[in-house]
Chain A
Amino acid sequence: MVGGREFGTRLLRLYLPLAVCLILMLFPFYWMVITSIKPNRELYSQKIMPLIVHQPTLKHYVDLLTETNFLTWTYNTMLVAIITTAVSLVLGTTMAYPLARMKFPGAAVVAIGVAATYLVPQPLLFIPMADIINRLGLGNTLTAVMLTYPTLLIPFSAWLLMGYFKSVPRELEEAARIDGASRVQAMTRIVLPLCTPGLLSAGIFAFTLAQNEFLYALIFLAKSEVRTVPVGVITELIRGDVFYWGQLMAAALLGSVPVAIIYSFFVDYYVAGLTAGSVKT
């Protein structure tokens, strides 16, 4: 029997540190869940043990859905995320494809440009962008964020996709061309289908980034009915010094659901995209 000692090492090297990692990373989510189902008398008492719920309630969820614009914010967020993801995938593909597979004059300049727009963070642009959006008369419209989110998503998608497009051997494309396929057909029928995992990764990441965006939405969307979830939650569920903690947590939890669902289905693509090189945090 070697069991005892082996288990000891495994406990020290694996189970204990793993448990610590999981607890540290997941505690805030546990805290979100239990806070959202605690009645106010448990929330605002220093005597009651806070780590568990004594009398769970769904009141905060009901209040959130009936007394605030949360559903409108969710609709706005989803609409913007889906449209900007689609636009960014298309434009990211059309940019990455020639950069990854063609030789043409100006390629180096464009490649550097894409890398630069990818790395230059949004904080350098938000103040001039606010002025531009104002002058275009787009303040308080979802168009404002639909126009600006792709500035974050396109360079990122293009960057990620270039790696995938490069990995398809030229010979496959050339064989199709010898058979009479045009350049466009070689792209749509040979290269793009082979890069489906890359397209999925880029799409999932773009969607996640769009759901996560806050700065542009905060600046451009000052009216409740056009707000996205993060902006609505932080500006309307916190009024002055009054915090609606139960509702805040319910909103934080429900607001994370779309990303969490997509993530749970495509976790492997997510990890692949993450490790394919480079990711915007």
Chain B
Amino acid sequence: MARAAPEVGGRASPRRLLEREGAFSWIMLAPGVLFLIAFVAYPFFYGIYLSLQERQVAKAGLFVGLGNFVTLFHDGVFWQVSRNTFLYTIVTTVLKLLGGLAMALVMNQAFRGRNLARAFLLLPFIVPTILSTIAWMWIFDPTFSVINWTLVHTGAIRTGFSWLGNATLAMVAIIIVNTWRGIPFYGITLLAGLQTISPELYEAAAMDGASINQRFWHVTLPIIKPILIIVTMFSIIFTFADFQIVYALTHGGPANATQVYVTYAFDLGMSAGQLGMGAAAALTMLPALVLLIIGLTLYLRRE
């Protein structure tokens, strides 16, 4: 271990430089920091610059100030997209939270094969989203939907639903898929939180005559609250900015009924080639995201 004895002598050789905390730190950091500045910070500010231009792909831009934003705010579609995104985020978050908590509570009991069950339950979260969404596309197929088949054959309905062709059902469909993919994330992280609670706490509470419900509200919930809040905040941020599920299942349709911010920005910026408008549409997410991120940061700092 003690081969390279520190050199004695005043010269600032590279080796000696590395022994200084500040120099060592910055030499280590430099490649990563430079990379992130070039490929995250620069595109971010370039995006703001683009949003102030009328700019078609492969053409020179024309500075229009806040013109793109004004156009967006006067467009009914933009407000529909905003409503869709918030609805999608809020409903899926509530469902994932409740579903994940239920999954965690079920899994927090001792039984044989628990690790195997946990591994299987996490599958929706690890399989590439586009690939699992393809299975859901087939499940929601207008003619051959297995849900329709089941409902028709049990006599619940007479003719099948057009899942992705109806405005309300299409929203239901993307909510179902997002919830399905997200529940294991909540479930398994919350399970880890539950497993830190010592059984003695429950025994003590039970001895004091606390019912199962009381134990949940007064022992379980307060202890897993921090992890619950962090998981939820992360999930909200990434659901708010979701693209894959909506793009694959509905492309934002029918008639923008499931269009969310990112698919909308994609349509404007990539499909229609209006980079400026697309960049502006993407940036309209920023205020809400910044609030969420500041909230999360403050909370993490307090913990």
Interface residues of A (CB under 8 A from B): 13-14, 17-18, 21-22, 24-26, 28-29, 31-32, 35, 43-44, 46, 50-51, 91-92, 94-95, 97-99, 102-107, 110, 113-117, 119-132, 134, 147-148, 150-151, 154-155, 158, 176, 179-185, 189, 208, 211-212, 214-215, 219, 229-230, 233-234, 243, 245, 248-249, 251-253, 255-256, 259-260, 263-264, 267, 270-271, 274-275, 277-281
Min CB distance, B179 to chain A, in Å? 10
Given contacts A123-B282, A215-B244, 15 further A-B contacts (CB under 8 A): A13-B106, A14-B106, A25-B123, A120-B289, A127-B282, A131-B275, A229-B131, A230-B129, A245-B141, A255-B128, A259-B127, A264-B119, A270-B126, A271-B192, A280-B238
In the complex with contacts A121-B237, A233-B134, A278-B234, A183-B19 CB distance below 8 A = yes
Which chain A positions have C-beta within 8 A of B193? 275
Q: Please determine whether A214 and B40 come into contact, CB atoms closer than 8 angstroms.
A: no
Which chain A positions have C-beta within 8 A of B135? 28-29, 31-32, 35, 249, 252
Q: Which residue of A lies closest to B111 (CB)?
A: A14
Pairs A-B, 9 closest by C-beta atoms: A98-B25, A180-B2, A121-B241, A230-B130, A128-B47, A275-B192, A95-B32, A252-B131, A104-B25
In the complex with contacts A50-B149, A249-B134, A270-B122, A102-B265 CB distance below 8 A = no
Q: Please determine whether B106 and A252 come into contact, CB atoms closer than 8 angstroms.
A: no
Interface residues on B, range: 35 or more
Q: Please determine whether B121 and A127 come into contact, CB atoms closer than 8 angstroms.
A: no
Which chain B positions have C-beta within 8 A of A124? 44, 47, 241, 282-283, 285-286, 289
Give residues 211-270 of B contacting A (CB, 8 Å). 230, 234-235, 237-239, 241, 243-244, 247-248, 261-262, 265-266, 269-270
Q: Please determine whether A119 and B293 come into contact, CB atoms closer than 8 angstroms.
A: yes
Q: How far is the CA of A62 from the CA of B28 in the complex (A)?
A: 49
Q: How far is the CA of A133 from the CA of B96 in the complex (A)?
A: 36
Partner of A120, one of B1, B40, B269: B40
In the complex with contacts A183-B19, A229-B128, A233-B130, A249-B138 CB distance below 8 A = yes
Which chain B positions have C-beta within 8 A of A43? 144
Pairs A–B under 8 Å by Cβ, sample size 26: A21-B106, A22-B121, A26-B120, A28-B132, A29-B123, A46-B149, A50-B146, A98-B26, A113-B36, A115-B297, A124-B47, A124-B241, A129-B43, A148-B39, A150-B39, A154-B35, A155-B36, A181-B1, A181-B2, A182-B18, A183-B19, A185-B1, A253-B131, A256-B132, A270-B122, A281-B182
Q: Which residue of A lies closest to B262 (CB)?
A: A123
Q: Which residue of A lies closest to B23 (CB)?
A: A104
Interface residues of B (CB under 8 A from A): 1-6, 15, 18-19, 21-22, 24-26, 28-29, 31-33, 35-36, 39-44, 46-47, 50, 57-58, 102-103, 106-107, 109, 111, 115, 117-132, 134-139, 141, 143-144, 146, 149, 180-185, 187-189, 192-193, 230, 234-235, 237-239, 241, 243-244, 247-248, 261-262, 265-266, 269-270, 275, 278-279, 282-283, 285-286, 289, 293, 296-297
Which chain A positions have C-beta within 8 A of B149? 46, 50
Min CB distance, B259 to chain A, in Å? 14
In the complex with contacts A21-B106, A29-B135, A279-B234, A128-B4 CB distance below 8 A = no
Which chain A positions have C-beta within 8 A of B279? 127-128
Q: How far is the CA of A25 from the CA of B106 in the complex (A)?
A: 14
Min CB distance, A161 to chain B, in Å? 11
Which chain A positions have C-beta within 8 A of B248? 234
Which chain A positions have C-beta within 8 A of B40? 117, 120, 125, 151, 155
Q: How far is the CA of A21 from the CA of B102 in the complex (A)?
A: 9
Partner of A281, one of B2, B43, B121, B234: B234
Which chain B positions have C-beta within 8 A of A180? 1-6
Min CB distance, B62 to chain A, in Å? 15
Q: Please determine whether B4 and A248 come into contact, CB atoms closer than 8 angstroms.
A: no
Which chain A positions have C-beta within 8 A of B238? 121, 280-281
Q: How far is the CA of A140 from the CA of B136 in the complex (A)?
A: 29
Min CB distance, A195 to chain B, in Å? 15
Which chain B positions have C-beta within 8 A of A103? 21
Q: Please determine whether B43 and A214 come into contact, CB atoms closer than 8 angstroms.
A: no
